[in-house]
Amino acid sequence: MKIIKTNDIEKSSEILKNKIEKTKDSKTSSNRKDVDTNIDVVDISKESEILYKAKKEIEKLPDIRTEKVEEIKNKIENKEYKVDEGKIADKILEENLIDKLV
């Protein structure tokens, strides 16, 4: 699993948004006769475009998975919810290691 920092996605999406706006501006301004012919062009990498699309798809997802929450609530109420301490410890160590590497 690859972890992507939110800042990287936001930067990439901002760059892509600026590119789109510049393209729109250049098309609009090219219709005028008094336009300066020196136009800045920004080329966005495929990776940035993919990150931008991924961010948009993630934004569509609900913040809370209600069906999962209900499932866990029911297990807790019925005293069927089991906590695996080993998995929790492994996850804490894994995240700590990832944080140190990044």
The percent of residues in the chain predicted with pLDDT above 70, rounded, is: 74
The per-type count for the chain, helices as H runs and strands as E runs, is 4, 0
User: Tell me, what's the pLDDT at 31?
Assistant: 52
CB 42 within 8 A of CB 18: yes
Amino acid at the residue 37: T
Q: Which of 44, 61, 78 is the last residue of a domain?
A: 61
Is residue 36 over pLDDT 90? Answer: no
Residue with tokens 């012919």: 37
User: Tell me, what's the pLDDT at 68?
Assistant: 93
Domain identity same for 7 and 57: yes
* Token couple for 55: 């961010």
Domain identity same for 4 and 33: yes
0.75 exceeded by the pTM? no
Rounded distance between C-alpha atoms, residue 48 and residue 17, angstroms: 11
Domain identity same for 8 and 52: yes
Is residue 1 over pLDDT 50? Answer: no
Q: Which of 7-21, 24-38, 64-78 has the highest mean pLDDT?
A: 64-78
> How many structural domains does the chain have?
2
- The upper half-sphere exposure of residue 10, i.e. CA atoms within 13 Å in the direction of its Cβ, equals 3
- Average pLDDT for the chain: 80
Domain with 12 in it: 1-61
Of the pLDDT bands very low, low, confident and very high (cuts 50, 70, 90), residue 20 is: confident
Domain identity same for 57 and 82: no
What residues contact 48, with CB distance under 8 A and at least 6 apart?
12, 15, 16
Domain identity same for 56 and 11: yes
